[in-house]
Amino acid sequence: MVFGIGFQEFIIHDSPLATDDSQFTTQDMSTDSKNLNDTTGIQLPAGACVVIVRTEWNAATVDKLEAGCKEVLAGYKVQQMSITVPGAFELSFAIKKYWEQHKYKDDKPCVFIALGCVLRGDTPHFDFVSKAVTDGIMQLNLTLPVPTIFGVLTVDNQQQIDERTGGIHGNKGAEAAITALKMIALVNTFK
């Protein structure tokens, strides 16, 4: 597994984390790159913990994202918990507050996964919320010592939701979990 950051590459050559009887497979992701779905060789620290922060808004969609996310994490026996916030705008606040309360505890997360769905309507509200959520999560990645994975759908219609929650584009919640595993492993190489 090769992780690239800037001009540096980090290579992990160890055996897969999952045992032969607990291998996890997902649908192909919506890209031609097979490396995005490859978790071979990922080494996670003992007690790796993931906190999923999800929205109530568009609950049926977010439930599917969360299910995909939890399936991947369970396949790798990663500790996980979920926190629910009202809407996508509140994701960044909840993540920051949770980190502040847990950063010195044994159960501090190695990564956060933000899950939500912002569906375009008839007003510019979609644009404001989408930008605020994106900027908030980016800001968390620049200020917290642990990654925050962007698992928020920004879609125009129900068809796009269906395609990204188990349809032709896979499950973006499962993809967010795979990204989280890779980021935990990458950050662990910095120690």
- Write the pLDDT tens digit of every residue in 145-177: 999 999 999 999 999 999 999 999 999 999 999
In a domain, 23, yes or no: no
* Total number of domains constituting the chain: 1
12 vs 138: CA distance, rounded Å: 26
Q: Give residue 64's domain range.
A: 47-189
Give domain status of residue 56, yes or no: yes
Taking the C-alpha atoms of residue 150 and residue 58, their distance in angstroms, rounded to an integer, is: 16
Instruction: Examine residue 4 and state whether it is found in any structural domain, yes or no.
Output: no
pLDDT score recorded for residue 143: 98
Average pLDDT of every residue of the chain? 85
Single out the residue of 84, 48, 86 nearest to residue 177, CA to CA: 48
102 in active site: no
Whole-angstrom distance, CA of residue 69 vs CA of residue 114: 11
For residue 153, being part of any structural domain is answered with: yes
Tokens coding 42: 């990922």
Could you tell me the CATH number of the domain that includes residue 170?
A: 3.40.50.960
User: Which structure tokens are listed for 84?
Assistant: 């629910």
Catalytic residue among 13, 102, 125, 169: 125
Least confident span in 9-13, 50-54, 100-104, 145-149: 9-13
Torsion-angle region of 77 (φ positive above 0: left; ψ -120 to 50: alpha; else: beta): left
Q: How far is CA 52 from each of CA 63, 92, 116, 156, 169, rounded to the nearest angstrom? A: 12, 12, 11, 24, 21
- pLDDT confidence band for 40 (50 / 70 / 90): confident
- 89 and 53 Cβ atoms separated by less than 8 Å: no
